[in-house]
Structure 1
């Protein structure tokens, strides 16, 4: 198969799940990328305190990191439909409560509690969508060779959501108000996220209470060390995101164009999304473990110009916009590779949990990177913040390099199929 033929395998995805699923899984992950910025703008705008707004966004992120794996485990145990519906309803209710508390001058603890609840209950559309693709492979409705293509679609969808979500919040907040932006996230949650939860593909991943093989000793065990390695690498990647965003924001504020920070950072997501589409063109001889390692090494290398120019304050924001294209290139391939490897680490009845664990690892890393780099930038300027991002890429490289031999035996479709039900 030529590399262009590999790219054409995207056309096989609708035949497995239908165009409706591709649409709801793409749009359904946008609300998850709106809440953090929306809560920051809502609280800081209403109170005039950027510190309180930042604290609200941080609590939201921590809630999301803690809640993700629990939502995934609930999806494995109870099924995607009930878990998805409960998660969407709780998330929407928490966001509405956040708006009510802020507008009603409620105590700070009430605002922070609502933000934590909203983050905790974020519908895990991306991870659960990946779990459904895995189930398709195990039910032989998608060949193992096409699974990486599905993960490329998922990675690209994530990047577009990370670009579109904050941009949508910014536009709505500017045209109407931050409150309207948060309520728009509520509307999307109650429509598209609910549509994802009840989509027929939800029946692909049977709940453990219905799984006759739950206690079957032939079911393969969870491969803990590979999960830990993948999660550690993605913590580094998340830390990179948070550090670079904080550094770019400092440069934008210093230049008197704070609103441009989101546009510059969005270039990173667009560059990554385009690279994600092209992942299927990589040769099969370039193994997944080597791709994971090479992705982080390339991320560190391609970040050097951005770190030097951005950190030393040379050039304007347009220069940052050009340089940030480079490190965007390996980001989606890293994510695609990590989630593809994750499919082999657990039996299919636990796949939702492991996918949410990796997503939470990125969120945790982001929170660490944003906190550390933001503090350093406030005290010493942008260079330490950019260097923190470079250090995070180096951390990911070290994890991927040390763990390469542990990850090398893993390949898509390696976990035997367990019993379950077809689409219901």
Structure 2
């Protein structure tokens, strides 16, 4: 009974920030998940070259990985409102420019630069939203025992965005055109991301006005590195599984099924994320992170065997992908919760965006490596890389368990 009562912690969230904040932070993170696929469909549809579309999407991912920590550091230094507003407006302009470049047949480099700038300026709503919950908890406006529920809400929001964003791009591009899909992403950015930047919760985050970095508590770089490594492994897992599932779907002549099967991974993860507050307090974050990665590897084995060895059709993949999915959101929730403990609150935006960029980098590496090897050796290569990526996370969380276990919530790092 007490476990179910733990879910009541979610009721403290709208009471703390207002329901409008929950809406803008959920919808505001969707455009970031639309840009990569949108740019791929836009360029490949206009040029007839899937390779060129892939390069454009990679430019978006590279820009996002590089720009994320900079957006976070800027938000720490100058505040969430100016940083978030500047990122949202630049991202909107870059997406519109990308459409103009492609529709008007401008040189390839112009589309690549526009895509990279669009990725670089992604408003980082998810990480900055986590930073605001952290600041609210440090200010006493959110009880610290409700903070895990806030992180669970964020993890669930990320998963829904990862499912809804690409699906929305696919639906709009099919019903109308790829340029329209990218322009819809721009419109959502110009409205919901701007609304997020201007929301009153932005004032809760204390600006880091130090120039020499010598007066505040230090960043615990060891734990940050361990968490970033684990999440890079998780991102690589995403890209590898997606490549393996896509290969099987294309081979079966049902290309569209790949997105549906991969969406099941996100949906099962989102459901598991909602239930994270039910975990007992004795199940410490360090143990939870390690257990999550180990279970991710173990529960991926059936998927790798069935998917990699062509056992059955596509429906077994849709069933088996549920198993590893239930570990993903708990891993993300735990990693971001521990990330909050590694820095003074004045630098929380930086560490949250850094961890998110680690996932993006891992995804890009996993998608590129797995896609290349799957084309040459078949889907088993992609699923084996996914297992190895889960192993990277398990290794990082095991090797660094002592350091991660020393982290304490609600206290400045020492």
Q: TM-score, normalised by structure 2?
A: 0.98
Q: State the distance in 2 between where 1:57 and 1:78 align.
A: 30
Counterpart-to-counterpart distance in 2, 1:266 and 1:274: 12
Deviation of the 1:414 alpha carbon: 2.1
How many residue pairs get aligned? The number is: 414
Q: CA deviation at 1:415?
A: 2.0
Pairing of 1:236-275 with structure 2 (within 5 A): 236-275=233-272
Per the TM alignment, residue 86 of structure 1 is displaced from its structure 2 partner at its CA by 0.5
Asked if structure 1 preserves the Cα contact closer than 8 Å seen for 2:307 and 2:317, the reply is: yes
Residues 146-166 of structure 1 deviation map (CA, whole Å, 9 limit, x = unaligned): 111100000000000000000
Q: Partners of 2:212 and 2:270 in 1: how far apart?
A: 38
- Cα pair 1:247 1:382 within 8 Å, conserved: yes
Give TM-score scaled by structure 1 length: 0.96
- 1:184-240 CA-partner distances (Å, limit 9, x unpaired): 00010000000000000010112223x7x98673x3211110000000000000000
Matched, 1:103 2:100: no
1:396 aligned residue: 393
CA contact (8 A) 2:232 2:361 kept: yes
Residues 281-326 of structure 1: CA deviation (Å, up to 9, x unaligned): 0000000000000000000000000000000111111111111000
5 Å-filtered alignment, 1:113-262, equals 113-209=113-209, 217=215, 219-262=216-259
- The match for 2:277 among 264, 276, 280 is 280
Partner of 1:334: 331
Residue 61, structure 1, aligned to residue 61, structure 2 = yes
Root-mean-square deviation (CA), in Å?
A: 1.4
Structure 1 residue 68: Cα displacement: 0.1
Q: Counterpart in 1 of 2:408?
A: 411
Structure 2: stretches of 5+ with no match in the other structure: none
Distance, in Å, in 1 between the alignment partners of 2:197 and 2:312 is: 47
Unaligned runs of 5+ in 1: 417-424
The 8 Å contact of residues 67 and 121 in structure 2, kept in 1 or not, is answered as yes
> Does 1:39 pair with 2:39?
yes
Q: What is residue 354 of structure 2 aligned with on the other side?
A: 357
Deviation at 1:145, TM superposition (A): 1.2
| Structure 1 position 144, deviation (Å) | 1.4
Contact 1:288 1:411 in 2 (8 A): no
Q: How far is the alpha carbon of 1:407 from its aligned partner?
A: 0.2
Deviations 1:20-70 (A, max 9, x none): 101100000000000000000000111000000011111100100000000
Task: Specify the SS of the correspondent of 2:272.
Answer: helix
| Residues 206 and 345 in structure 2, CA contact (< 8 A), matched pair in contact too | no
